[in-house]
Structure 1
Amino acid sequence: MKKTILLVEDEESLIAYLQPELEFEDYQVLTATDGEMGWKLYQKQENQIDLVILDWMIAKLDGLEVLRRIRKQSDKPVIMLTARDYVGDKVAGLDSGADDYITKPFEIEELLARIRVILRHEKESTATVYQVKDLILDTKSRQVKRNNKVVQLTQREYELLLFLLKNINETLSRDELLNAVWGVDFDGQPNIVDVYVRYLRHKIDTDDNVSIIKAVRGIGYTLRDDNYETGEK
């Protein structure tokens, strides 16, 4: 079954270029030329949309506002597409829930690679429940709970936590985490792993201030618990 991508972009020439390229890769493409149109289309087609490519500088509602609205009701993967190349802007986009960020101009092969990385992590061969202390991740519902409360994670945060849980009690290097979650073709900064671990800790740590994700000096991270449980559904 074809994956559906919502492309929200105000440059018609770029839409005219990207849409056939994406369709050639066997994606179904929905398009919108401003933020308001993109948000309305997203609300109407949310169940059919697998990924959103969202330009930052668009009319009526800017991309960041559209992203915030999406995140209030969904963890649908979002790639921000923009000419803004400042570190502060990238941080703002990631903090608001973007799964990835690509700066114009770019090569179509780079965009396609990032799309593949995000979408291939969505498939799980079996439905598994992972539990560490009071943290539960259910791959069937793609729901994460801590202390019986649902934790809203972005696609990338979810994949990072899932990989840590799959390798419970193992020390994972930053390169291993980068390759597993972002893909071997990711050409961004390796410290993105540290950034996302910080995001995860902020969302899943409880008031006792004891993080279940431990830093291993000079290597990377580990998720440890002697009473770890996993079960097949």
Structure 2
Amino acid sequence: MAAPTPPSHSSGRPDHLLVVDDEPTVRELLRTALRYTGFHVDAAATGQEALDLAARRTPDLVLLDVMLPDMEGFEVIRRLRAQPRARPGRGGDVPVLFVTARDDLQDRLHGLRLGGDDYVTKPFDLEELIARIHAVLRRTRGEQLARLTVGDLALEPDSHHVTRAGRTVRLSPTEFRLLHFLVANAGRTMTKNQILQSVWEYDFGGDPSIVDTYISYLRRKVDKGEPKLIHTIRGVGYVIREPRP
């Protein structure tokens, strides 16, 4: 399976995340989902293990549970902030996103006052969590993703918000990834193989009919009226382009 185009540091390398959670199922879910998204991921089951990993290699962001077997996540962030940076030129403190079942308002405030960059409570929506990770990374680096437009279609990568002629278009995560890929390559014909590799990450002959199926879903939602933006290039693939005069 080909690696997705990863979220990356200014150096061009994939962002490195550290997941800290003592629940094996949650830890594995996050590790698998985040690697699939394109991050490099390490995982720790205890606070001390997390501190040891961070000392050896400073992560770009830490996802930190509060309830750990050896110390609270609040103590982990205190010690993490006191560690010398393992990567020269890192600058500032490593961003920390709390992911925890501790949903009391005082816990939230305490985590943020200690320097946490965001606070997400369990159970969480995976898509929202990934969006928050991207937002924290951009915010701590002063980065923003540009709004993408084709004709009267507008796509906001930060919020996954899509509009056509000012009307909100609700898409599934896969539909959004497909539309984002087409819009990011507006005016260029994308083959089914290119789409499979970039949206579904298949590089071993994945069933190309899934592309046709999801293109039809997008057309029903994005191209209900006129002018049409999504076009089939027979025998090649698909292109999204500005309406022709």
Instruction: Tell me the TM-score normalised to structure 2 length.
Output: 0.49
Distance 1:92 1:122, change over 3 A: closer
Name stretches of at least 5 consecutive residues in structure 1 with no aligned partner. Answer: 126-158, 160-182, 186-233
Larger Rg: 1 or 2?
A: 2
Moved over 6 A (4+): none
Q: 1:3 aligns with which of 5, 15, 33?
A: 15
User: Residue deviations 1:35-83, cap 9 Å, x none?
Assistant: 111111111111xx10000000001122100101122345110001110
Aligned pair count reads 127
Q: Give SS of 1:59's match.
A: coil
Partner Cα separation in structure 1 for residue 108 and residue 62 of structure 2:
17
Unaligned runs of 5+ residues in structure 2 are 1-12, 84-91, 145-157, 161-245
Counterpart amino acid of residue 61 in structure 2: L
Per residue, is there more strand in 1 or in 2?
Answer: 1
Contact persistence 2:95–2:140 (CA under 8 A): no
1:146 aligned residue: none
Structure 2 residue aligned with 1:61, among 71, 79, 83? 71
Counterpart check, 1:23 vs 2:41: no
Q: Give 2:137's match in structure 1, choosing from 116, 119, 122.
A: 119
CA shift at 1:104, angstroms?
Answer: 0.2
Q: Does 1:75 align with 2:96?
A: no
Quote the residue 1:178 is aligned against. none
CA distance in 1, matches of 2:106, 2:139: 28
1:171-227: CA deviations, max 9, x gaps?
A: xxxxxxxxxxxx658xxxxxxxxxxxxxxxxxxxxxxxxxxxxxxxxxxxxxxxxxx
Residue number in structure 2 paired with 1:12: 24
| Structure 1: distance between partners of 2:76 and 2:40 | 21
2:20 maps to a residue whose letter is V
Residue aligned with 2:116, SS: coil
2:17 is paired with a residue whose SS is: strand
The answer to whether the aligner puts 1:40 opposite 2:52 as a matched pair is yes
- Secondary structure class of the residue paired with 1:81: strand
Report SS of the residue matched to 1:65.
helix
Q: Secondary structure at the match of 2:52?
A: helix
Q: Which residue identity is paired with 1:17? A: L
Return the offset for 1:121: 3.1
- Partner in structure 1 of residue 114 of structure 2: 96
**Superposed displacement of residue 120, structure 1:** 2.0
Q: 1:27 to 1:101 in 2, by over 3 A?
A: same
User: Structure 2 vs 1, CA of residues 3 and 92 (structure 1 numbering), >3 Å: closer, same or farther?
Assistant: same
Aligned residue identity for 2:97: I
How many percent of aligned residue pairs carry the same amino acid?
Answer: 39
CA RMSD after TM alignment: 2.0
Match of 1:116, as an amino acid? H
**2:103 corresponds to:** 85
